[in-house]
Every structure is written in structure tokens, then in C-alpha cells.
Amino acid sequence: MSPLEVSTKKRFVLVAGRSNPDLAAEIATSLGVELGEVEISDFANGEIYIRFAANVRGADVFIFQSHTASDAHHSINSAIMEQLIMIDAAKRASAKRISAVIPFYGYGRQDKKSRGREPISARLVADLFQTAGADRILSVDLHTAQIQGFFDRPVDHLTSLPILADYLAGRFNGDLVVVSPDAGRVRVAEKFAARLNTSLAILHKRRRTDVRNVSETLEVVGDVAGRRCVLVDDMIDTAGTICSGAEALMKFGAEEVLAVATHGILSDPATDRIKNSPLKELVVTNTIPLPAEKQIDKITVLSIAPVIADTIRAVFADESVSEIFHGEN
């Protein structure tokens, strides 16, 4: 081989920020690799410093970060900025391809203008990642599929549906009715119902005009009386919607109510609401780490690591991602 000939062998590097280290470690184990060493620290004024400890020139670099607070000093905004700086560092270190692995995409709920003079923050975040140098985005259950259109680069939209649905099927042998907590989640609930081969119901709500940010359930579309109901959502933040939905279903004669969601944000007072609600069980994935003080008996956490690892493996090998999910993503 002459001095100018080079090997075409690809090199894989997986690195992670500080927001969800346990999930990052699980993904690395599933892939049979070690996480790349990255120096991450904070200046006294809060600025973030990043440096890759090893050479990434010409490598296929996957930069993992959940957009969530890692501790009292590092907010969701810090997590986003940390990942952006890691991407910039990889780009300036001459990485061949940079993939941003984002189990939970921050600002996903702000994907459109509902009122005048509002931002579309989900688009702003997309622009930031593209400007930083991300060549590809991998994310799990975006709040709305249209967020994929905010990127001019490839987006791999993963879903936790197989993991959550298989858990339910294994526990209850299909004796369920899937319930959408509102009109906006009907498509997701339909996919769950199809996967579980069961019926679908929808909670119909309206916003009260006399009290701000309060909704009330008016009726249930579908047969829930005497049935085991499963509320399906993409994320649970303060748990107001899911807990009020569980109360409504019990009033309409449900035998018991469970809930599943990909992202368990569980901002206060979510755990107190869940603890005092009629919910029998809440099942979430670990796209967002659940602090010890929020690990109550009613909450079950399933690992999304195998799904993310399989997708990363497919992207690195230039294979189909949709085949992993059989088109359900």
C-alpha cells in the first residue's frame, strides 16, 4: 500500500453528556463498546468546557444527551448547551460524521404558534443543532412528528411502542382497552391498540374559560365500563392530565386504570398526584432519569437502551432503521 492509500475501515465513537449517565452506560454495554472519554467541567460563572480526550478525526461520532436537568445546578438548558458544545468540539476535531442522540428532545411541546407573538422553540432548537454541526438526529417519540420537518438533515424517529406494548401484553394477555387522554394523542393510541389487538377509547375534554390552564373531561368515546383501561401519552410532566383522566375513567365505570408514557418528566407535584390518584400503575422508559425520591411503588421504569443501541448500530452500518420498528416509527 502506497503512503497515499488509506483504509476504508470506519471508526465508531460514542460519547455522552452528564444528564443521563446510566442510560448512556446501558447503551454502550448493549453495543459492546466503552463510552469515549470526554472532559466536561464548568467555569465559575457557569460556562461549560468540553474537550475530547481521544482522537476523533475521521470517526463516526455519536453524541448522547437527554434534554433534562442532571442536578440542581444543571437545567434542561444546560443539557442542550452541553450537547451543542460537544458537537462543535467534534466538528472542529474533524469528525467524519456527527450524530446527535437525543432520547428526550427539549422544547418539543413548542412546535407551533397557538397564540400571537409566541416562538416556535422546537424549530429554534433544531436550527441550533444544525448550526453546531450535527449531521444526523436520533430521538425517541418526538412530541409531534412534524418536528422532523424542522431539520434539513436526516432524522431517525425512534419509538418506545414495542417495549411498552410488549410489557402490557405480557402482563395482561390483551385484556385491555387503550385510551387516548385527549384528541391530540389519538394517533399514538391507535398504534398501541393495533399492536395489542384491542379496542380504543377517547377522553373528550374542553378548557374551562373561568379558570386558566384547567380542563375538564366531559365524556368518554368508547366502551370502558368494567374494563381495564390504559391511558397512553408521549410524556408526563406534572401528571395533571393523566391523573384527571384516570379519575374520569373510574367515574365512567372502568375496573382499573393504568398509564404508559415514553418520557417520565414528573415535575413536582407529579409523584404526589400519581400516589393519590386512582392509577394502578404508571409505566415509563428511562429516556429521562428518575431520581430516587420519585421512585414510588406505582411507577415502573423500562429501559429504552436496546432500542437506541439497535438504531445506532444500524446508522453506523448504513442499514435501515425503519426495519427495526417494522414501520411503527
Q: Residue 283: is it exposed, middle or buried by C-beta count within 10 angstroms (0-12/13-18/19+)? A: buried
d(CA 116, CA 102): 30
Q: Could you write out the three-class secondary structure of 144-190?
A: CHHHHHHCCCCEEEECCHHHHHHHHHHHHCCCCEEEECCHHHHHHHH
| 260 bridge partner residues | 232, 283
**Phi and psi at residue 98, to the nearest 5°:** -120, 120
- Dihedral Cα 291, 296, 298, 304, nearest 10 deg: 20
Q: How would you class 191 by CB atoms within 10 Å of its CB: exposed for 0-12, middle for 13-18, buried for 19 or more?
A: middle
Name the active-site residue from 191, 205, 275, 298: 205
Handedness of CA 178, 217, 301, 107 (dihedral sign): positive
DSSP-derived letter for residue 133 is T
Give the separation between CA 229 and CA 246, rounded to whole angstroms: 9
User: Can 205 be counted among the known catalytic residues?
Assistant: yes
The Cβ of residue 59 has, within 10 Å, a number of other Cβ atoms equal to 21
Q: Which residues are catalytic?
A: 205
